[in-house]
Structure 1
């Protein structure tokens, strides 16, 4: 019995020693070696802190920036990305930053960013997504690589080419008409346009890409909104080594539930589309985004076939990315037009001149020169980058750094 106790104690001590060595190697030795190599090449940045990297500092700056009132100005970069702004001022256009234990080479030189985005030699691969982003996006266009990415991208391009977008205009007009009808009794009153545009973009996406009304997609959008809040809460959090493998935080448990509920909701929409074909109500799965995905699922050619999880992941991504980006851009454009009322008047006059009392159509939309100019300028000033191009390269090893 005594020998067994000694053996167990020795084994436990050995395991703890090995675990300690692993933690020291991964969370202390490797980051400091990376920092030394990059510094030797003239790339500096805020010093690495054990386990947390620069997360604590970045989070504190974010809280301080958000707590202060902001004037109506285009100088928004220090507000929305204070840590990046501070590092650029202190360390220059290109610097080394730490997302927990992960090193990131931050590039703000437009020419270097262009070189990275061209990626002609396939030297810059997509980084591994975080736990919560993986739950949200799954294996969809933003995360997958190589041939699978090309196949998914080709399908998405086909769903949203010029002719398809023209066919979506009536559905967009119907959604905007519903929104304007709600606005009739709000003349002269303050409105939260960001929330209003959230309903609008949700309705448009549901109708044009999935052939359903907002009511059908409402649950999905609400769950995705909860998901983004979880991602925001955990963006600057670093998980303590090893312990994360044995227990889950409240946010991780909640994200698991949301993932399953979103998957079930998307599957319900897919099944409804399939049942309409099976019962003879329609003769095809349709030519919208969902229809093309379901067609790919039933494709007899294995090279072109989509798995059911592929459909779910692409639907989640389009719901999330399409709604979030368009909603923010519409709200930002409205804010700028509210500030520069002379351009608001010019745009209104142009729309009335081109369309009169008629609904927009694809041919006449091309004649909206002032509107096109405003949208292009809005994109240039669109936060959070405010004209500063930022690209973050994930550290991939000492060999690459030495090159």
Structure 2
């Protein structure tokens, strides 16, 4: 209400003046109004100085006096015209404008921080949903921090224990225990509803009616990566279509030699460590950094045609960026927080700029080669650029011979996809292989069964390049990988946001509610997977994913390590092929067991990682 009243006041003063002022001089006065208003709004403690400064800037104090002297009657100003009379004339409406601006900002802040959250909270509670009470601004951030500290301060889990949810997702575990499986938590001023029913999770991820959008985290997401996984609508569809050809199975098959070469280098390095051990004793190796190095080497070669050494700088920067992101994760709901010049924010922006500079140079070199007519490399970047150029040239046609792509991707878009290649291609597979080695070290009987299968399919030591047909016959290895993905899901949760009112599971959700899909918790749910949900039992996948859950039969699957629906992870086949080759070559060369120094402490740093490393004892296979 204050803003319209303010403008009415300004206009009414202007109307009084306009009856006595010629058009040209009236324009000068309006300029004076406009500029003085800006000075008063943005320099309130120094209004008089600001007005005098503005008066001189617009057309000088003398000119202003002349305008007022010749245009405004003395009776209107109450005394002989002067620059100070101008201030007296303008001050009331401009003060009202300043008050209106402040009131408008305060109203917006109150709506964001209190009124809207309370409306959403009432709407959810009226339908029987319970959860934590809303705390202005911070939401559940203090509770989440406290629960995380408590979880990390507890003793590590005993070896062989896979009940990791209380430690890895303490806030979700607390909310579900206190308020039920479908409960409400708060991400800043946004209500976040936990959805655990597999059928509802599939509905959300399928998004058939367009009710949901991916819940982004703004500038933080862009600093980490801003590829296809973060886009929405037509931009997501265009990027997905351009990237898809690079992940076709026939293209991935041609990458198998590069996978095997990287794994062979790691196996040779481990053999050297074992040989150097005293008296044939097992050699202790922390396989977590080793797997990061392996997958970093793989993604460098198959995505960019370079070696690990050439890509090491990007890996180091990405790893630092992930750890910095965790420091600000509970503050990003505050508007403008990522724009503040804090030490962490400045460092994250410098890292992002350096990574993007390296990638921009790589992309420019490749694009120059393509324009010169040189052959495209079979790596992901080459395939991506080739597909992108087809979109620009109109060769990428949709049904009916029309180019449905709407053009290709910009260089910035391609940089975003390359950052996603590095982030997802390296981190996801490295945590999968790390947890697989840890779990097989805990369960020697399954390690022996998987090794027996590898040796039966590939023969002595699996030192040659494993072919795709052989990998497809590794049934036990596949079961082991699926069970590890279930127990140690790399990405513990997915988030979606309702952008219009909709109904899900009998609950009517207003627009602006975040839905949290706690994949790790769902994969440990005894109602879904049976009383042995926290146990390592790969045989549950013997008849495939659809029959793995306790319900069995033809029930829809409740297994979501790579998401579900149209936004299923585009690189899941890539990740599983890489993991199969790596595990097959390790099993064909070594026997391993947990080291006494290993501490079983899964903890999410974006992905679910071993907090204190993953130390195992290696022995060369006889």
SS at match of 2:166: helix
- State how far apart, in whole Å, the 2-side matches of 1:246 and 1:111 are: 39
Do 2:117 and 2:191's aligned partners in 1 also have CA atoms closer than 8 Å? yes
Pick aligned residue for 2:312 from 198, 218, 238 = 218
Q: CA deviation at 1:200?
A: 0.2
Q: Does 1:127 align with 2:215?
A: yes
2:468 is matched with 362
Do 1:285 and 1:291's aligned partners in 2 also have CA atoms closer than 8 Å? yes
* Mapping of residues 9-24 of structure 1, within 5 Å: 12-24=98-110
Q: CA deviation at 1:245?
A: 8.7
SS at match of 1:105: strand
Give structure 1 stretches of 5+ with no counterpart.
none
Pick aligned residue for 1:50 from 129, 136, 145 = 136
Q: Structure 1 pair 149/402, CA: closer, same or farther in 2 (3 Å)?
A: closer
Do 2:301 and 2:379's aligned partners in 1 also have CA atoms closer than 8 Å? no
- State how far apart, in whole Å, the 2-side matches of 1:115 and 1:278 are: 44
2:393 is matched with 300
* Mapping of residues 235-314 of structure 1, within 5 Å: 235-238=329-332, 240=334, 244=337, 247-277=340-370, 283-298=374-389, 299-301=392-394, 303-314=406-417
1:143 is matched with 230
- Greater Cα radius of gyration, structure 1 or 2: 2
SS at match of 1:97: strand
Do 1:98 and 1:104's aligned partners in 2 also have CA atoms closer than 8 Å? yes
Q: Structure 1 pair 42/322, CA: closer, same or farther in 2 (3 Å)?
A: same
2:522 is matched with none
1:100 is matched with 188
Higher relative contact order (CA 8 A, sep 6+): 1
Q: Larger strand proportion, structure 1 or 2?
A: 2
More moved, 231-240 vs 264-273: 231-240
Q: CA deviation at 1:11?
A: 5.2
Q: CA deviation at 1:254?
A: 1.7
Give deviations 1:40-77, integer Å, cap 9, x for gaps.
01112101111001111011111110122222311000
SS at match of 1:125: strand
Q: Does 1:372 align with 2:478?
A: yes
Q: CA deviation at 1:265?
A: 0.8
Do 1:105 and 1:392's aligned partners in 2 also have CA atoms closer than 8 Å? no
Q: Does 1:39 align with 2:135?
A: no
Q: Does 1:88 align with 2:176?
A: yes
Q: CA deviation at 1:279?
A: 6.6
- State how far apart, in whole Å, the 1-side matches of 2:501 and 2:343 are: 36
Give structure 2 stretches of 5+ with no counterpart.
1-47, 49-86, 275-281, 395-404, 503-507, 512-622
Pick aligned residue for 2:258 from 171, 174, 188 = 171
- State how far apart, in whole Å, the 2-side matches of 1:327 and 1:120 are: 33
Do 1:27 and 1:51's aligned partners in 2 also have CA atoms closer than 8 Å? yes
1:117 is matched with 205
SS at match of 1:206: helix
Q: CA deviation at 1:238?
A: 4.9
- State how far apart, in whole Å, the 2-side matches of 1:384 and 1:77 are: 13
- State how far apart, in whole Å, the 1-side matches of 2:318 and 2:431 are: 15
Do 2:175 and 2:184's aligned partners in 1 also have CA atoms closer than 8 Å? no
The alignment of Structure 1 onto Structure 2 pairs a total of residues equal to 396
Q: CA deviation at 1:269?
A: 1.6
- State how far apart, in whole Å, the 2-side matches of 1:246 and 1:177 are: 45
Give deviations 1:350-402, integer Å, cap 9, x for gaps.
2122212352221212222211111122122124688xxx6544354678635
Q: CA deviation at 1:244?
A: 4.2
- State how far apart, in whole Å, the 1-side matches of 2:495 and 2:375 are: 43
More moved, 300-309 vs 45-54: 300-309
2:583 is matched with none
Pick aligned residue for 2:443 from 335, 340, 353 = 340
2:423 is matched with 320
Q: Structure 1 pair 142/391, CA: closer, same or farther in 2 (3 Å)?
A: closer
- State how far apart, in whole Å, the 2-side matches of 1:54 and 1:184 are: 49
Do 1:97 and 1:103's aligned partners in 2 also have CA atoms closer than 8 Å? yes
Q: Larger helix proportion, structure 1 or 2?
A: 1
TM superposition score normalised by structure 1: 0.90
Q: CA deviation at 1:105?
A: 1.9
- State how far apart, in whole Å, the 2-side matches of 1:325 and 1:378 are: 13
Do 1:45 and 1:97's aligned partners in 2 also have CA atoms closer than 8 Å? yes
Do 1:354 and 1:364's aligned partners in 2 also have CA atoms closer than 8 Å? yes
Do 1:46 and 1:87's aligned partners in 2 also have CA atoms closer than 8 Å? yes
Give deviations 1:225-255, integer Å, cap 9, x for gaps.
11111211111125655x6497432222222
Q: Structure 1 pair 311/348, CA: closer, same or farther in 2 (3 Å)?
A: same
Q: Structure 1 pair 244/352, CA: closer, same or farther in 2 (3 Å)?
A: closer
Q: CA deviation at 1:274?
A: 3.4
- State how far apart, in whole Å, the 2-side matches of 1:147 and 1:397 are: 18
